[in-house]
Amino acid sequence: MIRFQRIGRTNDPAFRIVVLEKERAAKAGNILELLGTYNPRSKALTLDEEQVKYWISKGAQPTDSIHNLLVNKKVIEGKKVNVLPKKTPQKNEAKIAEEAATAKAAADAAAAAAAPAAEEVTPEVAPELPTGAEVIAEAEPAAEETPVVEEAPVAEAAVEETPTA
């Protein structure tokens, strides 16, 4: 297998392009051959193209990222491979428009079905339940029973009696 072997400091990635057995971990260091290096920040690439072609002819399979890199540098021919996660599948615009139209039609049908059903249920249920005004009227008499005390205008009289100098 032809794959990247990460080297470099934390937050400063650099990669070796190595050939190793598929079952081996790249970090283990048991590589068969070093084919080149790649720095993704500066896009610097050193590659032994003849050895890459040799290993591919022997059956070594490049990873998707290596495959795309080799296609960019025209070492091999072919189409690039999508290496993004498959969580968000790509859809063509015709399918998106069709799904939007279907969703809108379903929403309109649901709204039309809900409107007659709401009219039929409301007259039967309404007489049994007390209205909001009845509930408020029951709660108000308790508030009215408490006496209201008016304040005497004592503060105003005290202000008028003070002599001015």
Strand order, beta sheet including 44-47: 2-7, 14-19, 33-39, 44-47
Give the C-alpha separation, 27 to 34, whole Å.
13
Q: Do both 7 and 66 map to the same domain?
A: yes
Q: Do both 60 and 108 map to the same domain?
A: no
Return mean pLDDT, the chain: 77
- pTM summary value: 0.50
Domain limits at 108? 91-128
Residues facing residue 6 across a β-bridge? 15
- Of 2, 62, 63, nearest to 32 by C-alpha is 2
Establish if 163 belongs to a structural domain: no
Establish if 152 belongs to a structural domain: no
Sorted by sequence, the CB contacts under 8 Å of residue 53 that are 6+ apart come out as: 75, 76
Q: Do both 67 and 6 map to the same domain?
A: yes
Q: Do both 22 and 59 map to the same domain?
A: yes
* Predicted pLDDT at 155: 54
Q: What is the pLDDT of residues 18-65, one digit of tens each?
A: 999 988 888 887 889 999 999 999 999 999 999 999 999 999 999 999
Establish if 83 belongs to a structural domain: no
Number of domain units in the chain: 2
Establish if 38 belongs to a structural domain: yes
For residue 46, give both structure tokens. Answer: 């050193």
Establish if 82 belongs to a structural domain: no
Strand ranges, E, within the chain:
2-7, 14-19, 33-39, 44-47
Establish if 64 belongs to a structural domain: yes
Establish if 84 belongs to a structural domain: no
Give the C-alpha separation, 85 to 88, whole Å.
7
- Left (φ > 0), alpha (ψ -120 to 50) or beta: where does 3 sit? beta
Are residues 92 and 28 in contact, defined by beta-carbon separation less than 8 angstroms? no
DSSP state letter for 62:
B
* Predicted pLDDT at 102: 81
Q: Do both 106 and 62 map to the same domain?
A: no
Q: What is the pLDDT of residues 132-165, one digit of tens each?
A: 655 555 555 555 555 566 665 555 555 556 666 6
